[in-house]
Amino acid sequence: MLIGFIGLGNMARAIIAGMRESEAFRHAPIIGSDHNEVKRREMEERWNLTIVADDIAVAQKADLLVLAVKPQALPVLFERINPSRKRGQCILSLAAGRPLSWLEETLGADTPIVRAMPNVAARVGGSVTALCKNGQIDDAQKDLATAMFRAVGQAVWMTEERMNAFSTITGAAPAFTFLYLDALASAGLKAGLPKPMALEAACHMVMGAAKLALETGELPASLIDQVTSPGGTTIEGMHTLKALGFENAVHEAVQAVMEKEKKLREGK
Ligand SMILES: NC(=O)c1ccc[n+]([C@@H]2O[C@H](COP(=O)([O-])OP(=O)(O)OC[C@H]3O[C@@H](n4cnc5c(N)ncnc54)[C@H](OP(=O)(O)O)[C@@H]3O)[C@@H](O)[C@H]2O)c1
């Protein structure tokens, strides 16, 4: 199956780099196009991508066509490629806020379509990618999409309804985590540590804590119990975070992202 990318920006580059570093796609033929000459050249030289004339040429040749352009660029792109897209082609859209129903309306209800929402950690193979599909996708197409996103982290299939909530956590919450890391590093600075040292310690701590929760399968509440001894120091900090509304702030932040996404989907 020939894979083609339209758009070779940040996300396409992360995915293609991950694919080239995985056994499954190391030598697989991948074609692509982008408006930008520098991006085209970089992908050709660094990641052995075959650059074709333009978006129409990718759409004419690819069996799996990855749409890696900004969501607002899709209507113009479809006008260009729809008349000459390869028959039976599977579409893989990375666009936020463009549901399967919208894609089917624009591409035809008989088009096999996958939506994928990776996150910024795809750059280091640490994405958690939400995937959903329409009824036209066959097992081979589903397996191919799974393999592509396993090359940059985890691939999790779900219904489209779940995808919105899931990708709020995986898409927006990295920024919340960077905020938390920055706050920990400046608290470390205040306590007398050089900031780079405090930041590195905070990053390793977050990775270690997440690994512990994942690998033991223990609930966070149980892990909290294990690190808070009676009359100890950690419970003082936990009490302060709770008193200042830490959990509530996280809930409100997730809600705010979901509300904004809904407004964008409705074109408000
Ligand atoms: N970046 C992320 O962390 C992330 C996470 C989840 C999902 N996504 C999704 O991934 C998609 C791509 O995002 P991105 O951040 O990679 O965007 P990006 O860095 O702006 O890359 C998009 C590239 O596509 C090019 N392009 C647009 N229309 C084209 C066409 N018709 N033919 C050839 N090239 C074309 C753009 O060129 P011009 O700018 O010159 O038009 C640009 O170089 C978006 O739908 C986004 O919602 C991104």
Percent of the chain with pLDDT over 70: 100
Question: Region 111-139: what's the mean pLDDT?
Answer: 96
CA angle, residues 229, 232, 233, in degrees to nearest 5: 125
Q: State how far Cα 17 lies from the chain centre.
A: 14
Mean confidence (pLDDT) of the chain: 96
HEC-encoded secondary structure of 95-123: CCCCCHHHHHHHHCCCCCEEEEECCHHHH
Backbone angles phi, psi at 5, to 5 degrees: -110, 130
Q: Kindly give the distance from the C-alpha atom of residue 233 to the centroid of ligand 1, in angstroms, as a whole number.
A: 47
Ligand 1 pocket, 89 CB below 6 A?
no
Q: Looking at this protein, which amino acid is placed at residue 63?
A: D
Cα–Cα distance, 13 to 33 (Å, whole number): 12
pLDDT of residue 80: 97
Domain 3-157 identical in fold to domain 166-265: no
Q: Is residue 15 a contact partner of residue 151, using CB atoms and an 8 Å limit?
A: yes
CA distances from 198 to 40, 88, 153, 185, 189 (A): 39, 53, 27, 5, 7
Cα–Cα distance, 77 to 23 (Å, whole number): 32
Cα–Cα distance, 4 to 89 (Å, whole number): 11
Local confidence band at 264 (pLDDT 50, 70, 90 cut-offs): confident
The listed CATH number (3.40.50.300, 2.120.10.70, 2.60.120.560, 1.10.3730.10) that belongs to domain 166-265: 1.10.3730.10
Q: Kindly give the distance from the C-alpha atom of residue 72 to the centroid of ligand 1, in angstroms, as a whole number.
A: 10
Ligand 1 pocket, 46 CB below 6 A?
no
Domain range list for the chain: 3-157, 166-265
Question: Region 227-252: what's the mean pLDDT?
Answer: 97
Cα–Cα distance, 171 to 122 (Å, whole number): 11
Cα–Cα distance, 192 to 189 (Å, whole number): 5
Structure tokens given for 72: 């607002």
Q: Kindly give the distance from the C-alpha atom of residue 145 to the centroid of ligand 1, in angstroms, as a whole number.
A: 19
pLDDT per position as a tens digit, 178-212: 999 999 999 999 999 999 999 999 999 999 999 99
Local confidence band at 215 (pLDDT 50, 70, 90 cut-offs): very high
pLDDT of residue 267: 72
Q: State how far Cα 187 lies from the chain centre.
A: 30
Ligand 1, atom 20: closest residue by C-alpha = 9
Fold assignment, 3-157: Rossmann fold (3.40.50)
Q: Kindly give the distance from the C-alpha atom of residue 228 to the centroid of ligand 1, in angstroms, as a whole number.
A: 46
Question: Region 230-257: what's the mean pLDDT?
Answer: 96
Would the pLDDT of 261 be above 90?
no
Cα–Cα distance, 144 to 112 (Å, whole number): 13
Ligand 1 pocket, 96 CB below 6 A?
yes
Ligand 1 pocket, 199 CB below 6 A?
no
Local confidence band at 69 (pLDDT 50, 70, 90 cut-offs): very high
pTM reported for the whole predicted model: 0.91
| Ranges of H-type helices in the chain | 10-21, 37-47, 55-61, 74-81, 100-107, 139-150, 160-167, 173-190, 195-216, 220-227, 234-243, 246-265
Pairing of strands 3-6, 30-33: parallel
Would the pLDDT of 263 be above 90?
no
* Ligand 1 probe mutation, 56, 69, 129, 257, most atoms within 8 A of CB: 69
Residue 92's H or E segment, with its range, is strand 90-93
